[in-house]
Amino acid sequence: MIFTDATFFIFLAAIFGGYWLLQDKEERLTLLLVASAIFYGWWDWRFLGLIGSVILVSWAVAKFAATRAPGDRDRRFALIGGIVFNLSVIAVFKYFGFFADSARTMLAGVGLDPGWTALNILLPVGISFYVFQAISYMVDVARGDMAPEHRLRRVALYIAFFPQLVAGPIVRAASFFPQMEREKTLSSALFFAGLRAFVLGFAYKAGIADNLAQFVDPIYGDALVAGDTQLSDWSNLALIGATLAFAGLIYFDFAGYSLMAIGVARWFGFYIPKNFDFPYSSPSIEDFWRRWHISLSSWLRDYVYIPLGGNRGGKRQTYRNLMATMLLGGLWHGAAWTFVAWGALHGAALIFQKAVFRSDIALRFGLGLIATQLFVLLTWVPFRAESFSDMVTIWSAFAGLREGGSMGLSLWVWMVIPLIALDAMLGRGALKRLKSVKLLRRPTLYWGSLGVLSGILLALYPLEATPFVYFQF
C-alpha cells in the first residue's frame, strides 16, 4: 500500500473517519494499532509475526530493565540481549545473503570452494526503521532517560505506527508516548496543517521523483541489470545526467514520503519531526548531515557515535568514531559493499572537515556550497551503482576519461538542475522572504495556487504508482 496509490486513500479515509467518530482515547489508539497491522500486513501478512516479535521483546526488555538498579548486571545483560535480538532480525533478513556471498568470494580468492549458495531471503519492508525505533526505546529506558511503558499496546503502536512505519522518520519514544496520552480534537488548523505537508510531499514524490525515474532507471535500474543495455552504450553526458536525476530523485522521493508521513500523522493529532531541511543548500558536509535524513543521523549520533566516545578522547579517537558511525550508516542503507564505500567516503569527508576546518566559517561562501554538493553528487554514484566497476565507469564519465557511447537521454533530464537549485534557494532563506510577501497571504491566492498545483500534479502523475526508494531499506 503506497501513499500515492488509490488503495491507500480509501484506507486512510476509512481510518480517519472512524478515528474521529470515536470519542474514547483508548478506542482511538486501538483503531490506529489495528490500522497499522492492516497497513503492514498489506505488503506481506507473513511478516506481522516478525514485527510482533520485535515489539514483544522490546517491551519485555524495557520493562525488566526498569526493575533493576542502574549499573546492575542483569539490567545490562537484558539490554544487550534485546539489542542482539533486534540486530539479529536485521542480520538474517537483510544481511545474511550479503555476508554469505562475501565469505564465498573470499574463500574462492584463496582457492577454496565453500560449496554453498546464498539463500534468497525476502526483505521485510521497513525493517531497518522499526528495529532502530525498538532499540532506541530499550536503550532510553535502560539509561533512565524515560520510564518504561507497561502497556504492550502503546509500545506496539509506537513501533508500528503506520504513517512512518515503512520509511521513517525514526521517531523517539520520549516524544511519541506523551502524545498518546493527550486528548485530541479535530480542528481546521490540524486538518490543513496535515494537508499542506501531504500535498507538498505528494508533489515531491508523484510530480518530481516519479518523473525523474524515467531518466535514472535505463542507466542505473533494471534494464542495465537485465543486460538490455550496457553502460558502454551511453554517452558521458547521459551518465552525468542520470546521476543528477538520481540526486533529485532520492531527495524528492524520500523527503516527499517524510512530508506525507508527517501530514498523515498530523491528521490523527500526532507530531512527527521533520526529516529534511533543504540538504542541497549545505555549505559543508557536516551541515549536510544536519539536514539530510535528520532522524537517522541524530539516531546514529546518540546511539552509536556518542556511546563509542564521541569527540571526548582526542582527535584520533574522534576520527575513528566518526568513521565507524558512517560505515554503519552506509551498511544500514543496503547489503552491498558499494553502500559501505558510500559511508566510508562521507566518513572521510567529515574527518577531513574536522581536521582542516575548525568551523563552518570557511565554508559558508559559494566555494563551500559548490564543493559540498559536488562531493554529494559524486558519492551518489556508489550509493546507486550495482558494482564498483559501474561506479568507476560513471566517475570516469564525470572526469571525461572514457569514450562514451552513442545513446543519450532526453534534454528534459537537465530540468533537475533548476529544481534542485530552487529547493536550495528556499533552504537559504528564500522561503522566509516569500512568507513575508503580503500578497501571498490572501486566502483566494493561496487556495487558487493550491488548486493549480493539484492540477499540475494530476497531469504529471504517472499511470502507475511507484514504490518509494527507501522502502528497500
| pLDDT tens-place values along the chain, 473 residues long | 788 888 999 999 999 999 999 999 999 999 999 999 999 999 888 899 999 999 999 999 999 999 888 888 899 999 999 999 999 999 998 888 887 777 777 777 777 766 666 667 788 889 999 999 999 999 999 999 999 999 999 999 999 999 999 888 999 999 999 999 999 999 999 999 999 999 999 999 988 998 999 899 888 875 555 556 688 889 999 999 999 999 999 999 999 999 999 999 999 999 999 999 999 999 899 999 999 999 999 999 999 999 999 888 888 999 999 999 999 999 999 889 999 999 999 999 999 988 886 555 555 557 888 899 999 999 999 999 988 999 999 999 999 988 888 898 888 889 888 888 888 887 666 555 555 555 445 556 555 655 565 555 555 555 455 666 665 55
- Which pLDDT score, from 0 to 100, does residue 439 have? 47
346 is catalytic: no
- Which pLDDT score, from 0 to 100, does residue 406 have? 86
- Which pLDDT score, from 0 to 100, does residue 125 have? 87
Query: What values do phi and psi take at 240, rounded to 5?
Result: -65, -45
- Grid cell digits, residue 175: 516524544
Rounded-to-integer distance, Cα 267 and Cα 17, Å: 11
Other Cβ atoms within 10 Å of 210 Cβ, number: 22
- Which pLDDT score, from 0 to 100, does residue 395 have? 95
- Which pLDDT score, from 0 to 100, does residue 464 have? 57
Residues whose CB is less than 8 angstroms from the CB of residue 272 and which lie 6 or more positions away in sequence, other chains included? 163, 164, 169, 171, 261, 262, 265, 266
Residue closest to 54 by CA, chosen among 111, 149, 130, 150: 130
pTM of the complete model: 0.89
- Which pLDDT score, from 0 to 100, does residue 176 have? 96
- Which pLDDT score, from 0 to 100, does residue 434 have? 54
- Which pLDDT score, from 0 to 100, does residue 112 have? 73
Residue 407 pairs with which residues in a beta bridge? 234
Q: How far is CA 46 from the centre of its chain?
A: 24
